[in-house]
Structure 1
Amino acid sequence: MERKPFQWPQPLAGNKPRVWYGGDYNPDQWPEEVWDEDVELMKQAGVNFVSVAIFSWAKLEPREGVFDFDWLDRVINKLGSNGIAVDLATGTASPPMWLTQAHPEVLWVNDRGEVCQPGARQHYRPTSPVYREYALNLCRKMAEHYKDNPYVVAWHINNEYGCHNRFDYSEDAERAFRKWCEERYGTIDAVNDAWNTAFWAQHLNDFSEIIPPRYIGDGNFMNPGKLLDWKRFSSDALLDLYKAERDAVLEIAPRPQTTNFMVSGGGTLLDYDKWGYDADFVSDDPYFTPGEEHLDELAYAGSLMSGIARKNPWCLMEHSTSAVNWRPINYRCEPGELVRDSLAHLSLGADAICYFQWRQSAAGAEKWHSSMVPHAGPDSQVFRDVCELGADLNKLADEGLLDTKLVKSKVAIVFDYESQWATEHTATPTQQVRHTYEPLAWFRALADNGITADMMPVRGPWDTYEAAVLPSMYILSKENSERVRNYVANGGKLFVTYYTGLTDERDHVWLGGYPGSIRDVLGVRIEEFAPMGNDFPGAMDHLDLSNGTVAHDFADVIGSVADTARVLETFKADKWTGFDGAPAITVNEYGDGKAVYVGARLGREGLAKTMPELLEEMQIEAPKGNGDVLRVERADETGENRFAFYFNRTHKDVKVDVDGGTALVASLAQVDEGGNTATINPNGALVVKL
């Protein structure tokens, strides 16, 4: 695939580059007399960038063919004349009532044939030609009207594609799915082979017999190859719509364009890495996970966004100042986390820090979602923190942060959207194992040992790192199997876990013993799996390892180990289990490199305890520091202009060595007397120029 050249929104005329700072602005929710107050408060907070008109279709086109841009003109002119740039949305994320009443055929359909009625948002079919006609018409009208506006610095195409309409089972989708299958496979025989339709008499005679994976009854099992392709198709169908909207705008009014992804620890709705090839710059809407993994999961998502961006700057398009509104329990941010979380994203390559939303709604479905200006108004801790962050971002820009990028780590953890989709199937060895669980566990375990890893999509250059981790990479295509083989043969240091390399890209099992396509690289041959659980009395629910760690949920039955491999750890169990003394963790010499295999799910704690042995075995030196602090570094191409970010991962005060640098930003942190060390409080952050 060819990647679009990177383009970043440029500052308004006469302004110097800054970290873009702001959020979604919805002035159409408020009387016009509030707008002037908004602009003054934005200036006070250091806001220089807002996204406008994301959900404004009904106000932009109140009746079919009747357009009203006057109100938006006034808003944009107020913003721009006060130095606040506009990321202008196409407005297509939520079709108006007049459209769905005139054309109910645009409404998406669930797997049981039920039509999704309007009343929320994203109630359209991505493959509907009728919806596309109206959406592209609005895109063109917006582009024609604002093509010469000097305050519009970027296009915001639609919004969070697939958040609510990822899967549509309508007749439009059926026709599009058939076409997608024909383009992917060429012949119906190739489809039959890919889906193994010989099983359960599912043979297809021609493409007209292909239907979406609609409801087949509770407890039944959908064809896994078909279901995997359906998920690929659904991502591609939305991507095709995005490209159509994008092109409609850019043909008339070229500007850097983006759309907001939803990349997080569990955010696998779409193949966001594939989408990244079609954006001028990539954007994300990550929301914090409450509890003890808050910072780690946030850093994990930021690192993955940096991988999707291929280390170019990316935009944090939405996150929250405090509580969201869509969880059963909407936990607030703890004191300090508003600033700390934003600095963490900044450290990982986000050169734009934005929130949903600017002013908290007084009514509507998201009225309890926190904002930069809360219900309490500017006389609030949230707004004071917003202002503090704005000042911090300006200071870092003045010191040259925008000339730097995230420094490459020693270790890349590989992430694969399709492996996650395949492991979601209901007919798998265990429902307790998913691809997404393992990368986060490795990220946290490495952080516990002082290493902040880079998250890297499987298409990315993970094979250029000193070490790489394949964590439960269920799917390994022939191409990626060769990448693995060449990487290790040429001196790479590879960590591979259970549940890796079980199938090819068609979800066909690699035969001959697992992991079939890279057994020679790992030096192990797995004959069987041993899932574990407690849903049946007396079933094996864990396995002890010789190093004192404990495996849960899953273990491999390693039948043989190659002469080139050594066993590092074994299982300890009652003899009747067949596991006592069996290999659990191995290392194999292959070419000029080494490959470690971890044959059980150890979780974050077990991996963290095992990590020192594995790092020593692979001769990987952990950076100076400890697991209480997450350290991230940004630098320019020469390495002379460097910034170190330190984040407290604990709920106790921690000390850090500031490496002789100058502290620029200290949020809940204090530089100690002498300037060589600093104390960072819980939820604190420190930014040092080295």
Structure 2
Amino acid sequence: MAERRAYRWPQPLEGQPSKIWYGGDYNPDQWPEEVWDEDVELMGEAGVNVVSLAIFSWSKLEPREGIYDFDWLDRIIAKLYKAGIGVLLASATASPPMWLTQSHPEVLWRDKRGDVVWPGARQHWRPTSPIYRDYALKLCRALAEHYKDNPAIVGWHVGNEYGCHNRFDYSDDAMRAFQDWCKRRYGTIEELNEAWGTAFWSQHLDNFTQILPPRFIGEYNFMNPGKFLDYKRFSSDALKAFYVAERDCLQEITPDLPATTNFMVSAEGSNLDYDDWASEVDFVSNDHYFTPGESHFDELAYTSSLVDGIARKEPWWLMEHSAGAVNWRPINYRKEPGQLVRDSLAHLAFGADAICYFQWRQSRSGAEKFHSAMLPHAGKDSQMFQDVCELGKDLELLSEQGLIGSKLVKSQVAVVHDYQSEWASEHTATPSQQVRHWSEPLDWFRAFADQGITADVVPLAGPWDSYQAAVLPAVYLLDEANSQRVRDFVQAGGKLFVTYYTGISDERDHIWLGGYPGSIRDVVGVRSEEFAPMGQGEGCLDHLELSNGAVAHDMADVITSVESSVRILASFQAPKRTGMDGLPAITVNDFGEGQAAYVGCKLGREGLDKSLPELLEAMGLAASDENASGDLLRVEREGEDGVSRFVFFFNRADHEIEATAEGEPLMASLAHVESGRAKLDSNGVVIFKQDL
């Protein structure tokens, strides 16, 4: 993991106080200029103080090779600056203009079958193309030189959602870059052969030039797991190198302007190793779109906590979210009343100091014309715009009250998330295709919330071992160093929860031998000999009941031995023929000064909710607030000066609930506060300020 860049946050326009940044992507080039004045006027009405400009404007900025047109951009920036609205200026390189791809079709990426991915949408470029990089950096230099002294520019928005569409490229450029990457990583071809296990299926390589990308190898065949895992690492690194080249080009000319790019962190989103990428941005930014249905709010809270973990608790920027429906799902559900405000304040509660949307004005044409916006098709006379204005006032108040720069208060529990364990668990030759890493930490986060505990979500490379308790949920890859971190953490008194599918392989995806969880068996005190996957086939094991009333699905461990220091909290209850009846399912082991619980099956949120009370008691843990309720999510931010604390309450239920807090009530949405007691409707939120 690279050393992190010093944290730098976009500063307010000259003469303006620091505020929570509020706004969104703005695409004035998609509208006639007579609309611009109305846009700026309505932005003022909504409380907008920042916009991202020129994200997909390359063809407008450079209509022909080497011919630049910044006049239109100058005019709109001047209007915005006059209205007190800052600009996060994009490098505009997310999608090349047609003249570039027509002249240089070799910049287009290829799919795993070798077919060219033709232009007509976005991100139709390969990150390893030296030709594309040359053109992109020329544009970056031209933009930086032109705007280096413009007082409206508060920072750089570099690229856009790297890897959203071009994560994997299988071209010859990518092949050569992958060969070089492997040479840097392994040094010798012998080391690479050992890492990839090429003795299997006669895949031995004599030199680095024999390395191919994981191109199409036939239906129902299995790619070498070590190679495919490394290609995912390489692809993340290749895109990161492109970002770094753009960033360095821009900051060589404008060293005082901080730079970022918008990640796509979500519970399931694992295109890139965003924790690794965070070392290369001046401040972390994220795009997040809600998951429809009952998990909407919890997934949002989980993701925001993960972004906070990736940012190492420095304030971060919500670059994109939606005011209402999106346009890219099979069914694009609207947000319910109150969710526009509630969702934004939830991101804020978990550490965001900027709340922005895609986009300001809803498009009239193009592929995203049905994607909601701050100013919808219905115009200003709409509930959506009224909610946008309400939120603007809320953020103004919270800025005045000193929320800026405060940080998420550390929880007693860290739930670990690991991108590379997710990548490894995605392989098609695993014990069960129903088992992946990403769903397990989300289930634990939700189950803790059901117990009134708001956990922090922390990347594996982050400081999870500084918490009172930590969860390793299906962290499939544990190298020697992280295995030792586990050992040291518990030995020193830490409380550790470990689940099935943890510590199975090292960083090369080589199995730790001797039984599961291979690298930390001594810590958990149990040994599993094999997996017991569950499915829906006739006559197959489809579930396992536990003695505590929980039910396991998809995966269980066949635990055949336990240490004398282990207490069994729950066992499997199953037909004798399965060989699972009476085997341990949930255990707690004393190890050094600490304890390690082991959950040897996939319980899901409901099963964890049934099991956690006894587990927490056995581990000596409890909710920090004795009045905590699973219907409420409580989140706290505290200023660095330790003078004030902001307490957020969110209703997780579909009925009215009550919350009590000391301090001054600052704001309420779909809620009523009287004498320190709040009643929150569904989708309701209240915020209190406490003097410490």
Q: For 1:499 and 1:347, how far apart are their aligned partners in 2? A: 32
The answer (yes or no) to whether the contact 2:108–2:125 under 8 Å persists in 1 is: yes
- State which of 642, 645, 649 in structure 2 corresponds to 1:642: 645
RMSD: 0.6
Counterparts of 1:392-411 in structure 2 under 5 Å? Answer: 392-411=394-413
Deviation at 1:20? 0.1
1:29 and 1:76 map into 2 onto residues whose CA distance is 15
CA distance in 2, matches of 1:221, 1:243: 34
Where 2:139 maps in the other structure, the secondary structure is helix
Q: Equivalences for 1:39-438 in 2 at 5 Å? A: 39-254=40-255, 255-438=257-440
Q: Distance in 1 between matches of 2:100 and 2:196?
A: 38
- Measure how far apart 1:525 and its partner are: 0.7
SS at match of 2:175: helix
Question: CA shift at 1:324, angstroms?
Answer: 0.2
Rounded to whole Å, the distance in 1 between the matches of 2:547 and 2:643 is 46
The answer to whether the aligner puts 1:653 opposite 2:647 as a matched pair is no
* 1:630 and 2:633 correspond: yes
Deviation, 1:299, is 0.3
TM-score normalised per structure 1? 0.99
State the 1:135 CA deviation. 0.2
1:662 deviates by 1.3
Counterpart Cα distance in 2 of 1:223 and 1:461: 32
CA offsets 1:487-528 (integer angstroms, 9 cap, x no match): 000010000000000000000000011111100000001101
In structure 2, what residue type is equivalent to 1:181? C
The alignment partner of 2:36 has SS state of helix
Corresponding residue SS for 1:177: helix
Question: Secondary structure at 1:251's aligned position in 2?
Answer: helix
Moved segments of 4+, more than 6 Å = none
Work out the CA distance in 2 between the residues paired with 1:611 and 1:588: 16
Residue type matched to 2:557 in 1? D
Asked whether the equivalents of residues 362 and 377 of structure 2 are also in contact (C-alpha less than 8 Å), the reply is yes
> 1-side partners of 2:604 and 2:622: how far apart?
22
Deviations 1:533-554 (A, max 9, x none): 01x2110100000000000000
Corresponding position of 1:557? 558
**Residue 28 in structure 1 maps to residue 29 in structure 2:** yes
Where do residues 426-575 of structure 1 align in structure 2 (5 Å cutoff)? Answer: 426-534=428-536, 536-575=537-576
2:688 paired residue number: 688
Using the TM superposition, give the Cα deviation of residue 105 of structure 1 relative to its aligned residue in structure 2, in angstroms. 0.2
User: For each residue in 1:137-187, what CA deviation from the matched residue of structure 2 results, as whole angstroms up to 9, or x when unmatched?
Assistant: 000000000000001001000000000000000000000000000000000
Aligned to 1:18: 19
Q: Which runs of 5+ in 2 are unaligned?
A: none
Q: 1:679 matched to which residue of 2? A: 679
* One-letter amino acid of the counterpart of residue 672, structure 2: Q
SS class of match (1:663)? strand
Deviation readout 1:399-450 (Å, 9 max, x if unpaired): 1111411000000001110000000000000000000010000000000000
Tell me the SS of whatever aligns to 1:317. Answer: strand
Q: Which moved more, 1:622-631 or 1:150-159?
A: 622-631
Q: CA shift at 1:480, angstroms? A: 0.3
| Paired amino acid for 2:336 | E
Gap runs ≥5 in structure 1:
none
Once residues 540 and 405 of structure 1 are traced to their aligned partners in structure 2, the CA distance between those partners, rounded to angstroms, is: 47
The amino acid that maps onto 1:216 is I
Per-residue CA deviations over 1:256-307 (Å, capped at 9, x if unaligned) read: 1100000001110000000000000010001000000000000000000000
Deviation digits for residues 612-650 of structure 1, max 9, x if unmatched? 111111111203210001110001234330010011111
- Which amino acid in 1 is paired with 2:535? G
Aligned-partner SS, 1:468: strand
| SS of residue in 1 equivalent to 2:532 | strand
User: Secondary structure, in 3 states, of the residue corresponding to 2:556?
Assistant: strand
| Deviation of the 1:573 alpha carbon | 1.0
* Aligned-pair CA distance for 1:660: 1.9
CA–CA separation in structure 2 for the residues paired with 1:103 and 1:679: 61
Equivalent residue of 1:389, what SS? helix
Percent identical among aligned pairs is 67
Alignment check: 8 A CA contact 2:477 2:505 kept: yes
CA distance in 2, matches of 1:611, 1:386: 39
Report if aligned partners of 2:361, 2:374 keep a CA contact under 8 Å in 1: yes
Distance 1:500 1:109 in 2: 35
SS at match of 1:401: coil
In structure 2, distance between residues paired with 1:199 and 1:363: 53
- Displacement, 1:470? 0.1
The Cα shift of 1:81 comes to 1.2
Give the superposition deviation at 1:555: 0.4
**Structure 2 equivalent of residue 604 of structure 1:** 605
TM-score, normalising length from structure 2?
A: 0.99
Aligned residues between the structures? 686
